[in-house]
Amino acid sequence: MSIMKGNNSVDVLLAHPWKPDETDPTGWWISEKLDGVRAFWNSKRGKFYSRNGNEFVPPSWFSKGLPRDKDLDGELFGGRGKFQSTISIVKAGVVNIQLENNPIMRKISK
């Protein structure tokens, strides 16, 4: 089941404030909030999308090992204090030889 809507937007979960008296997180997977770019991997299409349905075009090496049978939802994270460089790489939207070999793009995959 995909969470892609007909207009290419993505129906992803969004953060809400935790209310300790209402929610027991026992058994949940919890991680630090990273300052990155939200991205959804559509395994059937083999493409990344923003939660608004904008396609992200990564270099081929970046998505080569991703599953073709499971959708993924997460953050493209370039490192602490690197949000601006991460967003500029993601917004470039064009795969070219400079982006394909960009050392900053390679750091996002680590």
Which positions are catalytic?
A: 33
Judged on CB neighbours under 10 Å (0-12, 13-18, 19+), 67 is: exposed
Rounded Cα distance, 10 and 2, in Å: 9
